[in-house]
Amino acid sequence: MAVTDPTAIKFSNDVARHMADLLSQVYYEAKFAEGECDSKGMSAFFTEEAGDIEDGSGTDKDKRTMYTSSDFIKLRKRWTDLISDLEANSNTKLKHVQKPAVNLVR
């Protein structure tokens, strides 16, 4: 039985497809970030022992929160977890995300 309710169709088009776009875009951004991280050898710089990332954050002029090497390692783990999860079992979850997507990449 087909979904014909206008409210449900609007929700699917306005919310669900938008979420599919965003999830797909995050996946591709994570793939890009991981490729860049590997190709530039960033693991050599971001170690548990490295401490703060001296980018000017945490100052009166720059209101961003201070960011540490350990924070970077944890963030990288999250994006690699996302990639692994979506690509598991022959990209099953990625296919679920991308089927309704309209704008797979930004």
| Residue 50 forms part of a structural domain | yes
In the structure, what pLDDT confidence band is assigned to residue 101 with cuts at 50, 70 and 90? very high
Q: How many domains does the chain have?
A: 1
Measured CA distances, 8 to 12, 45, 68 (Å): 6, 49, 45
Q: Which residues pair with 68 in a beta bridge?
A: 52
Indicate whether 47 pLDDT > 80: yes
Q: Is residue 90 part of a domain?
A: yes
Q: pTM to 2 decimals?
A: 0.89
Residue 106 counted as domain residue:
no
The answer to the question of residue 25 being in a domain is yes
Decide if 1 is inside a domain.
no
The stretch 78-84 carries a mean pLDDT of 98
Q: What is the residue range of 78's domain?
A: 7-98
**Stretch 45-68: mean pLDDT, rounded?**
90
Question: Does residue 37 belong to any structural domain of this protein?
Answer: yes
Q: Is residue 92 part of a domain?
A: yes
28 is a domain residue: yes
pLDDT tier for residue 77 given thresholds of 50, 70 and 90 = very high
Asked if the model's pLDDT at residue 106 lies above 80, the reply is no
State pLDDT tens for residues 8-23.
999 999 999 999 999 9
User: Is residue 49 scored above 80 in pLDDT?
Assistant: yes
